[in-house]
Structure 1
Amino acid sequence: MDNKRLGVIGGMGPKATSVFMDQVIEHTVADRDQDHIDMVVLNHATLPDRTTVILENAGERFLKAVERDLRLLEQAGADHIAIPCNTSHYFYDEMQAMTSIPIIHMVEETIKEIGRRFGSVRKVGVLATNGTLRSGVYRKVCDKYGLELQEPEESVQREIMNIIYNDIKRGRMISSEGLERIILDLVEQDGCDCVIIACTELSCIRLGEQAAEFSVDAMDVLVRKSIELSGKHYG
């Protein structure tokens, strides 16, 4: 396969984008600089908050801002585009209609990965922002593949949002203990076969072995797909 140039629309948030880039570099099988992937990264941190525009029914604000990024990636010769932000995929169809460059569908690829990794699955949990949950983007794809989606109860969702917005987005170092407890409760108490880490901020937290065993991280899935589409091997 020919080498392909990866375009990245980042900044949602900036820390998650840096984690994505680090993982692409770490997991690309390479012996020298020239074996790595050419990336054009737009760390557009001032993009409107995705949760806010979804909840306020103001998606045009986000789409108007991201359209310029898509044009820049076209001019830079990107062959495909990764957007390391789950919530933004609520606007996937609109964004794809703005460009001829294929955009990796992070959500759909994650659901496909669940099938490959766990085989026959009935029920999956999801940890995400309020915007991602309200958008129904994961529920829509789960329905397509015949999976039941379990969202956290309200008090747990508040805890997740606190981790995302009051800890990670503010650059605070936190323990993985709280997130691991939420994952294992979804498995043990709610009967989920696995849990999707559906927020790239949560991907910044390194999980212990037990919680990781039952988790599928959408960021990891996006990293693997980005590497493979760029003509490289994941390792």
Structure 2
Amino acid sequence: MKTIGICIPTIEGGVVCHQEIGREATRRGVAYPAIATHTPLFEEIGRAVQTSDFNSLAAVLSDSINRIAKAGADVAIISANTMHIVFDEIAAQSQIPILSILEVTAEYCTKHGYQRVGVLGTTPTITRRIFDAPLEKRGMTTVYLSQSDQDVVMDIIHNELIRGIFLDPSRQQLERIAKQLATQCDAIILGCTELPLVLTEESCQTKFVDTTRVLAHAALDHAHE
């Protein structure tokens, strides 16, 4: 069985991803794989994203992945959607294969027969349209928020969720936004690994594609290949 490596840019989403690998293994009745993790300095990541310094972002994340490889990982995942802006650059510098959250999410959407998919995430994820290509390649179209709603989502993610702050008024705002987006699509991609901590299908009465857990399940599949 292969060892999984997890690059954890944000603690909250990374913990969910790590935990889900173990929980899914239990559900399947299969062995829990060995996991090596590394958390790069968030200050460096945040500065690079804020200034659109994608060369520095790729360098920080590539260093993290290669530290994981040295720790014995056979395959890696990055438990954050926004970081996939520089996925190709990271993969080119990596000593081990990396599973893309974008590709495994698009595959999941294909298997479930979705045609129009909404995307919730950070502003860099949305403005760079990182989900468009893998979804369009599979015949799907993407739907996005108004700028005003996107600003609300970004503020909550950046100032609360990634810091482990979960406020009820913010949850209600996110639910309102998700419900409105759901009227325009078949399902909504939770394109930020912290969003599943506050949004559920039951509370929003819509179908969600939880990228955090989809990636965790794909990593488990790969470990057992």
TM-score (norm 1): 0.86
The residue identity in structure 2 corresponding to 1:42 is H
The residue identity in structure 1 corresponding to 2:3 is R
Counterpart check, 1:110 vs 2:110: no
Q: For 1:31 and 1:59, locate their aligned partners in 2 and report how far apart those are by CA, in whole Å.
A: 38
Q: For 2:117 and 2:203, locate their aligned partners in 1 and report how far apart those are by CA, in whole Å.
A: 17
From 17, 20, 23, the counterpart of 1:23:
20
From 175, 191, 210, the counterpart of 1:217:
210
Q: What is the root-mean-square deviation in Å for CA atoms of aligned residues? A: 2.3
What residue is the counterpart of 2:44 in the other structure? 48
What residue is the counterpart of 2:31 in the other structure? 35
Instruction: Name the SS for the 1:192 alignment partner.
Output: coil
Report how many aligned residue pairs link the two structures: 223
8 Å Cα contact 2:40/2:60 also seen in 1: no
Counterpart check, 1:131 vs 2:124: yes
What's the CA shift string for 1:60-83, capped at 9, x where partnerless?
111222222222222222111010
Q: For 1:80 and 1:212, locate their aligned partners in 2 and report how far apart those are by CA, in whole Å.
A: 35
The residue identity in structure 1 corresponding to 2:23 is E
Q: For 1:48 and 1:132, locate their aligned partners in 2 and report how far apart those are by CA, in whole Å.
A: 18
From 65, 70, 74, the counterpart of 1:75:
70
Q: Report deviation, 1:181.
A: 2.2
The residue identity in structure 2 corresponding to 1:65 is V
Q: Report deviation, 1:21.
A: 1.3
- Percent identity reads 24
8 Å Cα contact 1:47/1:62 also seen in 2: no
Q: For 1:201 and 1:45, locate their aligned partners in 2 and report how far apart those are by CA, in whole Å.
A: 18
What residue is the counterpart of 1:187 in the other structure? 182
The residue identity in structure 2 corresponding to 1:178 is Q
Q: For 2:193 and 2:200, locate their aligned partners in 1 and report how far apart those are by CA, in whole Å.
A: 14
The residue identity in structure 2 corresponding to 1:61 is S
8 Å Cα contact 2:179/2:205 also seen in 1: no
Instruction: Name the SS for the 1:101 alignment partner.
Output: coil
Structure 2: gaps (5+ residues): none
Q: For 1:92 and 1:47, locate their aligned partners in 2 and report how far apart those are by CA, in whole Å.
A: 19
What residue is the counterpart of 1:6 in the other structure? 4
What residue is the counterpart of 1:163 in the other structure? 156
From 138, 141, 146, the counterpart of 2:139:
146
Instruction: Name the SS for the 1:48 alignment partner.
Output: helix
Structure 1: gaps (5+ residues): none
Q: For 1:63 and 1:21, locate their aligned partners in 2 and report how far apart those are by CA, in whole Å.
A: 22
Instruction: Name the SS for the 1:49 alignment partner.
Output: helix
